[in-house]
Amino acid sequence: MPNAALARLKSRFARIGVLGEAAGMLHWDAATMMPDGGGASRGEQLAALAGLSHELMTAPVVEEDLEIARAEGPWEEANLALMARAHARATALPTDLVEATARANSACEKIWREAKARADFAMVRPALTEVVRLQRETAQALAAALGMDPYDALMDGYQRGVTAADVEPVFAAYEAFLAYALPRAEAIQAARPAPIPLPGPFPVEIQRSLCRKLSERVGLDYDHARLDESLHPFCGGTPADVRLTTFYDPQDVSKALLGVLHETGHGLYERGLPETWARQPVGDAAGMAAHESQSLIVEMQACRSDAFLTFLGGELRHAFGGPAEAWSAANLARHWRHVERGFIRVDADEITYPAHVILRFRLERALIGGDLEVADLPGAWNEGLHRMLGITPPNDAKGCLQDIHWHDGAFGYFPSYTLGAMAAAQLMKAARAATPDLDEALARGDMGPLLGWLRANVHGKGSLLGFQDLLRAATGKPLDPADFTAHLTARYLTA
């Protein structure tokens, strides 16, 4: 019976969703609280959960039910299509490969932590080589089953419907813009007064309290969220139990504060997903580029706007004291919209950040395609960054060891960051057009109008629409990088 088949599928995918949530919590714990000696055991736990999920997804009854199930209405139809997509990806991979990949990723990620601290790529190279080998095997298997290029098959796992061929012209156009924009932004910045130093130090306890207060002010409900510390800030957990992490520097309040606002954007997206479709594919976020758009519309578009900085300066002065001019919106803008060629992606400004992503996109594509070997990664990284930004990392901690992604098996993820930044600018333009008093609200620290628009046009849509169709519905057009370069021009290139 079609209805019975659909009910069985929904029940099975709900169980798979629960296993995914459990794995997410184990990842969060590994990054925040797990003792160093727990790594091997954690790898086995994650491998077991990955294997169980894979077995549930690939059981013969799933294919049988997919063939006879019939859905009514756009949400049920999209959910069934996404189930079929997930099943096709899963059946392309043998269970032993899925489990081996989970073990290798977990083991490599633990070694990476120490290797990064020591700036010693040789320490992690064997483990990363095994991760890359398994990712190549995974990509080949997916490509054969799905009729896609191997790297595209990995990208599709993070943002469905987006391929390297889609990304390449967008990135090439941005490189051309960067060649003009970066030196002009630097020249304009050099002609302006230097920023007034922010009156530190900034006690960690005060930072911790302020970060949570501002995260709540932006809209995150801490009955369903918590804030902890980790080496690499991230948002994890589940839609009902959001886990944010950051790290605190007593000499620099911006690292934790802006990081928490960024991760709060991710958390708001998770909290705004349609509860009716919880633990169903259509109830998930629309992909990682969509997710990055939500963190960046909060952090970069809203919280670093002139309007919100007016509000934020008062909050910071109240928390840390010091002269009013140090906490003025203009001075905070000089600090937090400063353009500088740097080595570290997560510290990069809006203009240079895409260069870091373009570099990683090209390197990981070459790694998966077999055109670059792991042993040659540091040299290729340094050469590529020098070509993009004219600088060379002094060591591998500031080069190819800085990110967790590859060491945790996340290949095909990086393009989502810049696609998300571009989408955030496009969405913010549409939100401002739909909400004329948006900036007045931001100046009061009121994110409600923006959050309401995002709830209706992005969060509440789940995965009903793909990335491009989501943008079309919200803004009237697919991804338009011109909105991003227009935003950068207005913010950085106007003397």
Q: Which residues are known catalytic residues?
A: 263
Distances (CA, A) of 159 to 199, 229, 281, 383: 42, 28, 13, 28
Q: How many helices (H) and strands (E) does the chain have?
A: 20, 3
* CA distance linking residue 142 with residue 150, whole number of Å: 7
Angle (CA) 477-280-81 rounded to 5° is 60
Cβ neighbors of 56 (< 8 A, separation 6 or more) are 12, 15, 16, 19, 62
Whether 215 and 230 have beta carbons less than 8 Å apart is answered as: no
Distances (CA, A) of 444 to 59, 326, 423, 435, 455: 54, 19, 25, 15, 20
* CA distance linking residue 86 with residue 268, whole number of Å: 25
H helix intervals, 92-203:
95-118, 121-146, 150-158, 164-190
* CA distance linking residue 470 with residue 286, whole number of Å: 8
* Coil vs helix vs strand at 246: strand
Whether 154 and 411 have beta carbons less than 8 Å apart is answered as: yes
* CA distance linking residue 404 with residue 27, whole number of Å: 13
CA atoms within 13 A on the CB side of 50: 23
Which run of H or E residues covers position 417?
helix 415-434
Output the CA torsion 251→119→337→432 (10° steps). -110
Angle (CA) 243-338-227 rounded to 5° is 10
Which run of H or E residues covers position 236?
strand 235-238
Which run of H or E residues covers position 216?
helix 204-218
* CA distance linking residue 152 with residue 161, whole number of Å: 9
Nearest by Cα to 125 from 376, 440, 356, 469: 376
